[in-house]
Structure 1
Amino acid sequence: MAWAVQQVRGSGVVEAAVSMDVGRDSVVMASVTEVDASGTPFIGAAPVIVQSVVPNDGFVVRVRAWAGWPQPIDVRITALNLSSDPGAFERHDGVDVYKGAFVHRFDIPGATPQSSFIASIAEYHGAPHMGAAMLQVHSVAPRFGEVLVAGNVDWHEQLPIRLTLVGKRP
């Protein structure tokens, strides 16, 4: 699996264009953490949240995060391209239209509560798109024969989204 790291400084909405070998159909997950002056990650008082991850053709992943602190802080965004080792994980995509809180059901034969899955969310207009809406994945719950993904689309009307679920069955 390929990964890349980029450090940025900001307050409120923070965006980064992370360079890595991806295309628009790549499965990319990202995390964000506060870092000190030497670049060492730590859990500080500021809440930091990944809002959107959009792989683009042309070797760039756009990541939007939120740093909940009144003054600019340093954060590190780490992006992981799960598509670079396709045999390591299974991938499932679901495209639907949501507004507000939602639960999306993926039918996955053989899934159990012991399965391990993670999910990403992006606006979807024929391809992943980073728009102005705040999109959140709240919970991923593997169950017998299915995986439920709970989240929220904070937008004034229904919005097409793509959920990407990546993981392994036991």
Structure 2
Amino acid sequence: MGEDMEGLIEPMAAAPRRDAAAPAQGWAAFSFRAQGMFVAHMNVQQGLTRSSYVFASLTELDEQATPHLGEAVLTVHNVVPTDSHTVILRGEVAWPTHLHITAYVFFVN
């Protein structure tokens, strides 16, 4: 397993300064096939910067491209916003074959 963090993790004292010209928020969805560890570079949209707060999730899709809770474990490991409006997502599909998945990305400035 991983390291067990004991105690309460305190929030940052002050949030980083945001670009006032950038849109306040945005989201995008990306469907692709993956298996094992993967790195996806996803072009989100104008407004995303390296200072954006980014949240991501992974969802398995069935044969009809409908969200599906299967036996595979899908994990988001790292999410990195960039100034080129791209989110870099490191994830994992714990299944012996490629699965059709969707990555949902939401950002806030």
Q: Same fold (TM over 0.5)?
A: yes
> Could you say what secondary structure the match of 1:42 adopts?
coil
Cα deviations by residue, 1:114-150 (Å, 9 ceiling, x for unpaired): xxxxxxxxxxxxxxxxxxxxxxxxxxxxxxxxxxxxx
1:2 corresponds, among 23, 26, 29, to 26
Segments of 5+ residues of structure 2 without an aligned counterpart are 1-24
Q: Does residue 100 of structure 2 align to residue 74 of structure 1?
A: yes
2:72 corresponds, among 29, 40, 46, to 46
Segments of 5+ residues of structure 1 without an aligned counterpart are 84-170
Cα deviations by residue, 1:23-74 (Å, 9 ceiling, x for unpaired): 1111010000111133211110000010110000111001111000011111
Residue 7 (structure 1) shift? 1.0
Q: Does residue 87 of structure 2 align to residue 61 of structure 1?
A: yes
**1:131: which partner in 2?**
none
Matched residue pairs, number? 83
Residue 18 (structure 1) shift? 1.6
Alignment of 1:79-98 (within 5 A): 79-83=105-109
Moved over 3 A (4+): none
**1:33: which partner in 2?**
59
Q: Return the alpha-carbon distance in structure 1 between the equivalents of residues 80 and 64 of structure 2.
A: 28
Relative contact order, CA 8 A, sep 6+: which one is greater? 2
| 1:66 maps to amino acid | E
When you count strand as a share of all residues, which structure comes out higher?
A: 1
**1:102: which partner in 2?**
none
| 1:4 maps to amino acid | A
| 1:15 maps to amino acid | V
What RMSD, in angstroms, separates the aligned Cα atoms of the two structures? 1.1
> Could you say what secondary structure the match of 1:6 adopts?
strand
1:5, 1:18 within 8 Å by CA — same for their partners in 2? no
| 1:31 maps to amino acid | S
Q: Return the alpha-carbon distance in structure 1 between the equivalents of residues 37 and 69 of structure 2.
A: 19
2:42 corresponds, among 11, 18, 39, to 18
The sequence identity of aligned pairs, in percent, is 31
